Every structure is written in structure tokens, then in C-alpha cells.
Structure 1
Amino acid sequence: MIIVPIYPGQGLGNQLWVYVVGRSIADETGRSFHLEGYANFKGTDFLDITSDTSSPQGDQAPARDPVTCFHERQFYDEELNTVCSGFDERVVEAAGSLRLEGLFQDERYFFGKPERLPQYIQPKPELAAAYPVAPDVCVLNIRGGEYKHHPALLLKKAYWENAMANMTKLGTVKRFVTVTDDAAYARRLFPDLPIVSGNVAACFMTILNARHVILSNSSFGYFPAKLGQQKTVIAPLHWARPDNALGRWASPANLYTDWLWQSGDGTITNYADLVSRRDACEQHYLSRYTVLIDPQTIPAQGWRRFVPPGLRRLAKAGLSRLAPSRVG
């Protein structure tokens, strides 16, 4: 059996990644699958998923063999100040019942069978139909919120402007719409563009129904961009550390097929031309990052670690009104 836990604090994109990869590993290795913590799933209202493939036993995993916790291989890159992951081939050889812990955001966990994704996740058709997108519209999936606390992660306005120009060159895009978790931030960036925000289902289905999408470096956008009709997708080169001077993928897991990848100066590169660079980055981690450490020893990021959570919430509420482009 493959057991996948989902947690209350996880975002929907992270929940969906561990779910679909758990399903795929279970199918690839001939095991049953169990989703632990289904009550924490944030897509219940608009996505159909399968929480158990063995028997209708609710949220409790059926009693089977002893369960081994499988921790996906991860690397703390001190130079980029982030934790990276790729494809951990050891999971296929691990015997017995496994409980998966990790990021698991690599398409290589589909084992060359991308058709598994729409089998594992089905958007509710009545909700998908409620958010149509015209063929000449391009959707910008702008991520603000807590990303504004991390300058190395937050995409600059120039990324969006260059991507809009690149989409327009295709000849079919005439209008743009923003889908965002942070309406005030999106409005500050592009005051004249329509905004979809505040409803996760509406955001998901709007991206799902679009033919042209410009993504942020958030795991949320992967699923509506990959599901539904084929799309033209632009995403940021190097993902969570866009256009970093070291040229590293953060993470190697986050290079995805069929998308166009845009650098800081607006240059577009396709997936096939980036695979060798991704592989070299992954090999860099595998060959040099060989010392295991307690994840609790990884330094917390930013000034927020010095401020109590209650005071942080009050400060955030006030500052977000004064400076929406910097505080989420």
C-alpha cells in the first residue's frame, strides 16, 4: 500500500502533487493507495479525487503490513536559500507499505504515462462550465500574498510584461485577465485588467478553461494548466528562483513538458532545450550534497521569524493596506 498524508497547512497545489504522485507510484508498483487526512483536502467542492483504492474504510488506513516512512530525497541549497528536490528513483524499489513524505512535484513520477493525471483528478463539469474563457483571452496567474516577503521568489513586473508581449506575438491573444490570490497586489501591477480572486474554484476553473496561460512559480497553477484542453503556457525559467545567477533549477523537479520557459529578459526556451540543463543541476545536487541534516536546523527565512505569530497577523493586516505591492 502507498499512504499519502495531507495536512491542514498545505496549499492545494502541494496537496494535489502528493496525491497524484502517490496514485501513480501505487499503480506503477501494483499497490493499493490510501489518502490520509482527506478532510484536509482543499479542493473538495470542485474536484473529484479517489481517497482509497483498496476498500471503503473512510479515513483510516486498512490494517496491512508494517508501514515504512519514505522520505523523498531533498537538498538544502544554502546559496539559493531553498530546499530542492527532483525525481527520487528509490521509491520504486522500496518494498512493503510506504507512507510518503516529501514534495513529489516531478512529472517523472508519472513514469512516462502523463495520461494518468486526468484519470486521478476530475474537475466537476458543472463548475468548469460556469467559468468560460474566450479563445482570445490570456490568463495571468499572479501570485502575491506571502511571496511578497521573499524577493528571490516573487516574480518582477517585467516578467509579466515580457510574457504578455510574447503571448501577443502569437497573434491570437487580444485580452488579458488576472487570476490571483492577492487582488490588491494584482491591481497595483495591472490596474486596467479584470481580476478573478477570492474563490479558489473560480481561479482553478478559469485557468483550466483558458487556451493561453502565463503562470507564476506556484504549484497551484500546474494542475489547471495541464488539465482540460491543450494550452500555450509560459512559465518562469528556473521556477522558484527565477533567473538566478547560478543558473540552477529550484527545483529540478519543476521543469514541465510542453511549456515555454521565459528568462528575465523575455527570452523564450522550450522544454526540450532545457532538459540537459535540468539534469546537470540535479546531478550537481546528487554528487555534492551528500550530508544528511535535521530539517529543523535549516535557518528560518526573513525577519518574520523574530515576531510572534499573533503580532505578525496584526502587522500584516495593517501593512497590506498601506503597501499591497510588498506585503500580503
Structure 2
Amino acid sequence: MLTTELYNGQGLGNQLWSYVVTRALALDRGLDFGIMRREKFKGGDFMGLDFGKRVEGGSGPEGGPPSSLPRGIINYYVEKDIWHPEHHCDIRDYDPGLPAVPDNTKIEGLFQSEKYIAHRKNEIREWLRVKPAFDCRDFSAENICILNVRGGEYKGNPDLILPRKYWTDAVANMLLVNSRLKFVVITDDVKYAGNLLPEYKAFHFDIGKDYCIVKNARYLILANSSFSFFPAWTSEAVKYVIAPKYWARHNVSDGFWACAFNLYRDWLWQDRDGKLFTFEECESEYADYKVENGLEKFGDKPPSPRRSLLEKYARGILDAASKAKHRLLD
């Protein structure tokens, strides 16, 4: 069996990544899977996930690492992270060790690489089907574009929060594709979005309706948030997606991605000047950047404590988990 644990501190997007990757890796290996603390899933009202086998036992603090593993689980693996020495942020990429973990392992990490799951896309679309009673197509008309604006805790990090220019440049790019488009904002922070983009109506319903609106949109302009990944990626309606180049460090990057695995196929990636790039163009650029900047020398420990509270929280979890992994496997 492969298992992972859901935490209160995770958003819906992070929980879905943990669930989907664990289930997909288990399926690839012909193993059972099970999700710990399934009652903490934040999409339970509108999704009916199959959480796999019941996982018994195991304990530890919120966010990990475990002080004891569940019954029958004898290994613990934490996805490898990589930290940029100057920008003090996580730039991890696909971890080839993750798909190779032994049976009876608890896995933890961010898991946001398409490489873990792309071959299972049709199955994942079925796993994440929204309950029919909760689906929403109120904003799925042919000439509506959804701007999925992230506010909330992002506002405290100027490296992370996307500026107005990103959104207005993306609107201009979308109008080149379809000049008849009307724009609607779906957000976790209506007050912030209203101040940022007062020319557009902003809405926040509940997490399920917001998810469904993104999933059913024809045109999408995304923030650098994991919330929007699965509704956009599994969409059967979307025609055109614009996302911020360099993802979580769109505002400051000199060519690195934070994280590297957040570069996804089929979307267009907009830089700070409003220019659009394909996946292939971004991938080629980043390959050159890694060679020119010696990315392989970057370590798995952050070189400086200068981080936001959100990053500190995530870093603390991963540092503690890494120590526990070695303790449990020794």
C-alpha cells in the first residue's frame, strides 16, 4: 500500500495533488492506496472521492512528520526539494525517487509535477468528477473569460502576489484570441480583487462553486495557485489558458521556476512584459538557464531564513519530515 495524509493546513489544491499522485503511483505499481485523515478533505461537499483502503493507526503533529507510522506501513519518503540560494525559494522539480518507493510507504511532499500523473489524465478526470447537484455552468458561455485571482495570504508576499499588470496584459492577450470576450473574476478575496481590477465584477461563492466555474470556463487567466490546477487541467470545456511564467516567482525570476515542476503543457505562459510563451519555449529556456547557472549545485536546504510565514510553515514541515524519514528508515 501507498498512503499519504491530509492536513488542515493544506488548501484544496494541495490536498488534491496529494490524493491524485498517491493514487496514480499506486495504480502504476499495482498496489493498494489509502488516504489518512480523509475527514480533513476540503472538497467533500461537492466531490465523492474514493479514498482507497482504510488506513489504521499512525500519529504525529499537524503537518508531520509522523511519530509513528500506520499499521503495515514500514517506510516513509519525503519528496526531494531544491532551494534557490539567492531568492530563498523552493525550485524543486520532478523527483524520480518518488515513483520508485517500496510497497508499504507513506509519502509526503508537494507532488505538483505533471510527470507523476499525465499518463492517467482520463482516469483522474473521472476520479475528480463533481457531484451533478453541485456542478455550475453559470459562467461557461462561449464569450466569457474567467480570471481566477488569488488574494488572501498571498498579499503578504510581494514576490508571490501577482500585480495588476499581469492581469491587464493577459486580458489584452485574450482579446487578441476572441475580441468578444467579457471578463469575470472568481477569487478567494473579493475585496482585494475589487480594488485590483475594479473594472470587472468579482465573485466568491463557496469553494465548490468556484472550482466548478473554473472547470467549466472556456477561457482562463490563472493565478500562481494550486487551487486552479485540477479544474483547469481536467476541464473538458477550456480552449485557452494563460498562466504566469515562472509561477510563484513571476515577479522576480531571472529565469528560474518556483517550482520547476509547475511548468505545465498546453497552457501559455505570460512574462512580466506581457509576452506569451509555449511550454516548449519555456522548457528550452529553463534547460539553458540550469546549465548556465549551475542549478545542480543548489542544495536541499534553504540558505536564508528570509521567508514568508507560509514558506516558513512549509519549510518547517519538510525539514522535520526529512529528519523523520531518515530516523524511520535507519
Is TM more than 0.5 here?
A: yes
C-alpha contact (below 8 Å) 2:136/2:213 kept by paired residues: no
C-alpha contact (below 8 Å) 1:24/1:116 kept by paired residues: no
Aligned-residue CA RMSD in angstroms? 2.5
Among 144, 148, 157, the residue aligned to 1:150: 157
Match of 2:21 in 1: 21
Match of 1:301 in 2: 307
Quote the offset at 1:47 in angstroms. 1.5
Match of 2:86 in 1: 79
C-alpha contact (below 8 Å) 2:25/2:116 kept by paired residues: yes
Aligned partner letter, 1:141:
N
> Structure 1, unaligned stretches of length 5 or more?
306-328
Match of 2:320 in 1: none
Match of 1:125 in 2: 132
Quote the offset at 1:286 in angstroms. 6.3
Name the SS of the counterpart of 1:13 in structure 2.
helix
Match of 2:267 in 1: 259
Match of 1:321 in 2: none
Question: Does 127-136 or 208-217 show the bigger shift?
Answer: 127-136
Q: From the superposition, tell whether residues 234 and 173 of structure 1 become closer, same or farther in structure 2 (CA, over 3 Å).
A: farther
Name the SS of the counterpart of 2:35 in structure 1.
strand
Quote the offset at 1:289 in angstroms. 2.4
**1:1-328 pair list within 5 angstroms:** 1-52=1-52, 54=53, 57=54, 65-110=72-117, 112-129=119-136, 131-171=138-178, 173-231=180-238, 232-279=240-287, 287-290=296-299, 292-293=300-301, 299=305, 301-302=307-308
1:73-129: CA deviations, max 9, x gaps?
A: 001223222122211111222222111111100000015332232132111122114
Q: From the superposition, tell whether residues 69 and 82 of structure 1 become closer, same or farther in structure 2 (CA, over 3 Å).
A: same
- Higher RCO (CA 8 Å, separation ≥ 6 residues): 2
Name the SS of the counterpart of 2:154 in structure 1.
helix
Quote the offset at 1:253 in angstroms. 0.9
Aligned partner letter, 1:226:
W
Q: From the superposition, tell whether residues 58 and 102 of structure 1 become closer, same or farther in structure 2 (CA, over 3 Å).
A: closer
Q: From the superposition, tell whether residues 278 and 32 of structure 1 become closer, same or farther in structure 2 (CA, over 3 Å).
A: farther
C-alpha contact (below 8 Å) 2:88/2:304 kept by paired residues: no
> Structure 2, unaligned stretches of length 5 or more?
59-68, 312-330
- TM-score norm. by structure 1 comes to 0.83
C-alpha contact (below 8 Å) 1:76/1:83 kept by paired residues: yes
1:244-282: CA deviations, max 9, x gaps?
A: 342101111101111010001110111122223344566
C-alpha contact (below 8 Å) 1:255/1:278 kept by paired residues: no
Q: From the superposition, tell whether residues 131 and 4 of structure 1 become closer, same or farther in structure 2 (CA, over 3 Å).
A: farther
Mapped to 2, the partners of 1:225 and 1:39 lie a distance apart of 25
Q: From the superposition, tell whether residues 69 and 159 of structure 1 become closer, same or farther in structure 2 (CA, over 3 Å).
A: same
Quote the offset at 1:31 in angstroms. 0.9
C-alpha contact (below 8 Å) 2:160/2:251 kept by paired residues: no
Mapped to 1, the partners of 2:220 and 2:118 lie a distance apart of 26
Q: From the superposition, tell whether residues 138 and 132 of structure 1 become closer, same or farther in structure 2 (CA, over 3 Å).
A: closer
Name the SS of the counterpart of 1:148 in structure 2.
helix
Aligned partner letter, 1:38:
R
Question: Does 28-37 or 109-118 show the bigger shift?
Answer: 109-118
Q: From the superposition, tell whether residues 173 and 16 of structure 1 become closer, same or farther in structure 2 (CA, over 3 Å).
A: farther
Q: From the superposition, tell whether residues 10 and 280 of structure 1 become closer, same or farther in structure 2 (CA, over 3 Å).
A: farther
Aligned partner letter, 2:98:
V
Mapped to 2, the partners of 1:203 and 1:42 lie a distance apart of 13
C-alpha contact (below 8 Å) 1:252/1:279 kept by paired residues: no
- TM-score norm. by structure 2 comes to 0.83
Question: Does 171-180 or 101-110 show the bigger shift?
Answer: 171-180
C-alpha contact (below 8 Å) 1:75/1:85 kept by paired residues: yes
Over the matched positions of the two proteins, sequence identity in percent amounts to 33
Mapped to 2, the partners of 1:200 and 1:157 lie a distance apart of 24
Quote the offset at 1:39 in angstroms. 0.8
Quote the offset at 1:9 in angstroms. 1.0
